[in-house]
A and B are shown apart, each in its own frame.
Chain A
Amino acid sequence: MRNVRSVEGRVIGAVLAILALLAAGWSSDAAAMKIERVTGASGIEAWLVQDRSVPVVTLRFSFAGGASLDPEGKDGTAALAAALLDEGAGPYDTTAFHRRLDDLAAELSFSAGHDEFDGTLRMLQANMAESANLLRLALGEPHFADEAVERVRASTIAMLAKQARNPRSLSGRLWMSDVFDRHPYGRNTSGSAASVAAITRADLADFASRQFQRGTLVIGAVGDIAPAELAALIDRVFGNLPQGGANTVVPEASPADGGALLVSRTAVPQSAVTFGQAGLKRDDPDWYAALVVNEILGGGGFRGRLMKEIREKRGLAYGVSTGLVPYRHAGLILGSVATENARVAESIALIRAEWQRMRDEGPTEDELRDAKTYLTGSFPLGLDSTRRIAGLLVRMQIDGLGIDYLDRRAGLIDGVTLDQARAVARRLFDPARLSFAVVGDPAGLESTRPARQPLH
């Protein structure tokens, strides 16, 4: 159960993680939260928010790399390694390792996205040292024993088969593989049945030694822990890792978002649709204006124009939303919707029309004000758990936002003017580039061209 679930959690990989963060209310003015920079004797640094209200500590960390380190023809290596790190390490075999985790009531998980390899350890304050020791072993001395490799490989292949019959994940895969074509972002971070079958124990061990290096490590810690305790803990967990950084060169991607409509026909009552086009990377000077404009068009809940037009007015879908997806080497604006086959063409036409309207007219003064209020106001509300705050600390470091970011974020959003918002809307939304991937049996829709890659 644990394996199947952890593998499933990674399916949509980085996209999902990023959108979840956005949905969790990634904004700012949580100025009350004090972030401390903690440095161990080894020189390893972590950002810390102390919170003594619950005897719990969450440690999250990230290494640059992830699926971008997968060897040629062996897509899914990073993901398979992530699922195997808690299947035996150091003196503990699989059963003993899980028994230790269980007895300490520690929650340890790893995941591999396109650009990063991430880990989370949530632990009881009373069991901190021993829980952290398990993490140290998982990173430094994983077994990758044959039995565990074969078992988790089988789970992964089963999960891929399941994913291949799920209209929503299929439409996401179809969109990504078409738009990124041969670029690594076009691959499934979990791999394919063939690529996962090809991964050897040596590949996994090699991956671990290349991935777990201190050069690109960032750490966020939140909870009932003092700075000195954290300094000692990160030294123990990460101090023995080699100094270097991941040696991979991922080329910049240019999404081939030529406005295609792809239909993968299958017998389900409701068509699942993924849509989007190239967007902005996180360091783009227009980022905050784009964040506001995206909120106005495709904000979750009942805030966005798309939700109003498609759900509220016409009952065409249970949900529709868009998000900015900032990979390291490409940016996207990506959305999804699901509508019954007979009417899905109407949903797609409405999305195209709203894309055009946003490009032509931009937002109104009122919409801009409301979106800014929401993005700044909802941010601290999402920071209610050690896990979420630690995730924010990690993301801030990856994105190079600075330790004072929380003090500045509200100002960055509030500072977006109507002119800027309109300019970025013209820059961002281009119906000629807006591409759709539909999985279902949609009435009146045919592919405008063949897909660039077969889905496997």
Chain B
Amino acid sequence: MIRLGQLRRYRPAWIYRCLALVLVVAAAALPARAQKFDGESFTLANGMQVVVLPNHRVPAVTQMAWYGIGAADDPRGKSGLAHFLEHLMFKGTKTIAPGEFSKLIAQAGGRDNAFTGPDYTGYHQTVARDRLDLLMRLEADRMTGLVLDDAVVLPERDVVLEERRMRVDNDPAALLREQLMASLFLNGSYRVPTIGWEAEIRRLGTEDALAFYRDWYAPNNAILVVAGDVETAEVRRLAEQHFGPIPARPVPDRVRLDEPQHPAAARFEMKHPRVAQPSWRRLYLAPSYREGETRHAYALQVLAEIVGGGAGSRLYQSLVLKDGIALGAGADYAPSALGLTIFSLYATPKDGVAVAKLEAAVEAQLRKVVEEGVDADEVRRAQQRMQAAAIYARDSLAGPANIVGAALSVGQTLDDVAAWPDRIGAVTPAEVQEAARAVLIERNSVTGILLPERMS
């Protein structure tokens, strides 16, 4: 599945897959229902928004600081800088020694991590409810007090290079993904990988990181989400105490470059000895909540569910079950982005089935939606599943905090989050067909085919 992904600060290798699944579910796939979160929001005098999501299931609290800065804001020639800085935010301040941040959290019996996406950078910690004061003190401290030198920066750059090798260079599907993205976005800001191009990562230095930090890390460019066994009044008191004294500073405008008309569809075929199974994917440029024909954003979510959301979807039913030509097939669409986003499809052929045949079968299904539309019944069933997913999203502490933070970071409001189930429920079959017509346009697409190559 290809979407605008995010990178995390660390991930123990053995549990890599498990965590990956959990994160996709917690952070991306499930929009949610804020009216049931009972979320409250206030803004400090310096412009920092604070959202409180009370959840009294366990005596714990999760704090997330979301900065309005991401990989798509990396300066030209310095790809990977937002992500590199995220790593370096743990390297100490005027008052906290390098590595001390995570140590203090662990000593409080808590856990912490961080992530970088194209549009935002997030830092989160979970501790027992009576330690929120510590979290706020530490997060506020590094909002202004970061201290870096080559002694800590250069080894961390090697860590990021290892991270790139692990995520990308050792994985042919990830290598192809980079090329697909660079081709889907001719000019758009998401064409550059979040982790950065290797040669550019190698040149990132201490001054680059500090300059980027000074530009973007300010209270007026941050959203604090606090979820858990807490009350709003206490959160407000602590936030005013720790973050309140930090003065607002001017922050540059964020630019998401316009995408020109695409004159032609693009195709890439990659043969690689580490590929075991051929696979096919197709990406279409698509509107997000913020950019392009935004009115299609909800209908596109329903479309993705109908076409490729699990075993009941049209692609799975036709390609996998009825025709028996695919091992798997699906669709994906994530509307949370500042710029244009992606509507994607994928399929894996059964052994002996030509990729061209598979592609023709997917295209036939897409044509059917565009030409004949979708049934009222399948729309209703898709809507019910999606609304149920919003209920499941509340079945954890970090889930709602992730959803709210990600939404607000790309310009959505708490009301938007709260209204999500109703807006999904209001989508009509005609709107789904109209969205399909608007987005499934060949020249706005990139197709990627991954094929095995005999090992020498």
A and B: bona fide binding partners:
yes
* A interface, CB within 8 angstroms of B: 1-5, 8-9, 11-12, 15-17, 19-20, 23, 25, 30, 32, 51, 53-56, 58, 94-95, 98-99, 101-103, 105, 107, 122, 124, 147, 151, 154-155, 157-158, 161-162, 164-165, 167-168, 172, 267-270, 272, 300-303, 308, 311-321, 323, 334-340, 370, 373-374, 376-378, 380-381, 383-387
Indicate which residue in A9, A32, A378 contacts B59 across the interface (CB closer than 8 Å): A32
Given contacts A19-B14, A95-B321, A154-B351, contact A270 B381 (CB under 8 A): no
Please indicate the chain B residues that have their CB under 8 angstroms from the CB of A334 in the complex. Answer: 14
CB distance from A303 to the nearest CB of B (A): 5
Please indicate the chain A residues that have their CB under 8 angstroms from the CB of B11 in the complex. Answer: 318-319
Tell whether, in the assembled complex, residue A122 and residue B392 are in contact, meaning their CB atoms are under 8 Å apart: yes
Query: What separation, in Å, do the CA atoms of A37 and B155 have in the docked complex?
Result: 52
Q: Which 4 A-B pairs have the closest CB atoms?
A: A377-B109, A315-B158, A105-B388, A315-B155
CB distance from A107 to the nearest CB of B (A): 8
Please indicate the chain A residues that have their CB under 8 angstroms from the CB of B264 in the complex. Answer: none
Q: Return the CB mask of B381-422 against A: 1 if under 8 Å, else 0.
A: 100110011011011111100000000000000000000000
Query: Which of B15, B110, B396 has the most C-beta atoms of chain A within 10 angstroms of its own C-beta?
Result: B15
Please indicate the chain B residues that have their CB under 8 angstroms from the CB of A155 in the complex. Answer: 327-328
Tell whether, in the assembled complex, residue A301 and residue B327 are in contact, meaning their CB atoms are under 8 Å apart: no
CB distance from B447 to the nearest CB of A (A): 19
Would you call B205 an interface residue if the criterion is a C-beta within 8 Å of the partner chain's C-beta atoms?
Answer: no
Tell whether, in the assembled complex, residue A12 and residue B166 are in contact, meaning their CB atoms are under 8 Å apart: no
Please indicate the chain B residues that have their CB under 8 angstroms from the CB of A336 in the complex. Answer: 12-14
Sample (17) of A-B pairs whose CB atoms are under 8 Å apart: A3-B327, A20-B19, A23-B19, A99-B312, A102-B310, A105-B389, A154-B351, A164-B276, A165-B274, A302-B106, A303-B106, A315-B157, A335-B14, A339-B162, A378-B111, A381-B60, A386-B395
Given contacts A98-B311, A374-B106, 20 further A-B contacts (CB under 8 A): A8-B17, A16-B14, A25-B111, A58-B395, A98-B312, A102-B310, A102-B312, A122-B392, A165-B273, A270-B162, A270-B166, A301-B112, A302-B10, A311-B159, A312-B99, A381-B110, A381-B111, A381-B128, A384-B58, A386-B395
Given contacts A124-B388, A374-B107, contact A158 B158 (CB under 8 A): no
The residue of chain B having its C-beta at the shortest distance from the C-beta of A337 within the complex is B13
Would you call B144 an interface residue if the criterion is a C-beta within 8 Å of the partner chain's C-beta atoms?
Answer: no
CB distance from B391 to the nearest CB of A (A): 6
Query: What separation, in Å, do the CA atoms of A161 and B169 have in the docked complex?
Result: 19
Residues 54-96 of B at the A interface (beta carbon under 8 Å)? 55-60, 90
Tell whether, in the assembled complex, residue A315 and residue B166 are in contact, meaning their CB atoms are under 8 Å apart: no
Given contacts A16-B15, A301-B113, A370-B107, contact A1 B316 (CB under 8 A): yes
Indicate which residue in B10, B16, B55, B56 contacts A168 across the interface (CB closer than 8 Å): B16
Please indicate the chain A residues that have their CB under 8 angstroms from the CB of B58 in the complex. Answer: 30, 380-381, 383-384
Please indicate the chain B residues that have their CB under 8 angstroms from the CB of A151 in the complex. Answer: 320-321, 324, 327
Query: What separation, in Å, do the CA atoms of A101 and B219 have in the docked complex?
Result: 46
Q: Return the CB mask of B143-157 against A: 1 if under 8 Å, else 0.
A: 000000000001111
Tell whether, in the assembled complex, residue A54 and residue B391 are in contact, meaning their CB atoms are under 8 Å apart: yes
Q: Assign chain B's interface to a size class.
A: 35 or more
CB distance from A163 to the nearest CB of B (A): 8
Would you call B108 an interface residue if the criterion is a C-beta within 8 Å of the partner chain's C-beta atoms?
Answer: yes
The residue of chain A having its C-beta at the shortest distance from the C-beta of B172 within the complex is A165
Query: What separation, in Å, do the CA atoms of A99 and B311 have in the docked complex?
Result: 8
Tell whether, in the assembled complex, residue A340 and residue B162 are in contact, meaning their CB atoms are under 8 Å apart: yes
Tell whether, in the assembled complex, residue B106 and residue A268 are in contact, meaning their CB atoms are under 8 Å apart: no
Please indicate the chain A residues that have their CB under 8 angstroms from the CB of B178 in the complex. Answer: none
Tell whether, in the assembled complex, residue B158 and residue A161 are in contact, meaning their CB atoms are under 8 Å apart: no
Would you call B127 an interface residue if the criterion is a C-beta within 8 Å of the partner chain's C-beta atoms?
Answer: yes
Query: Which of B110, B276, B329, B384 has the most C-beta atoms of chain A within 10 angstroms of its own C-beta?
Result: B276
Please indicate the chain B residues that have their CB under 8 angstroms from the CB of A2 in the complex. Answer: 310-311, 316, 328
Tell whether, in the assembled complex, residue B99 and residue A308 are in contact, meaning their CB atoms are under 8 Å apart: yes
Would you call B277 an interface residue if the criterion is a C-beta within 8 Å of the partner chain's C-beta atoms?
Answer: yes
Tell whether, in the assembled complex, residue A301 and residue B111 are in contact, meaning their CB atoms are under 8 Å apart: yes
Please indicate the chain B residues that have their CB under 8 angstroms from the CB of A124 in the complex. Answer: 388, 391
CB distance from A254 to the nearest CB of B (A): 23
Tell whether, in the assembled complex, residue A377 and residue B351 are in contact, meaning their CB atoms are under 8 Å apart: no
Would you call B350 an interface residue if the criterion is a C-beta within 8 Å of the partner chain's C-beta atoms?
Answer: yes
Would you call B233 an interface residue if the criterion is a C-beta within 8 Å of the partner chain's C-beta atoms?
Answer: no
Given contacts A9-B21, A54-B395, A301-B106, contact A338 B128 (CB under 8 A): no
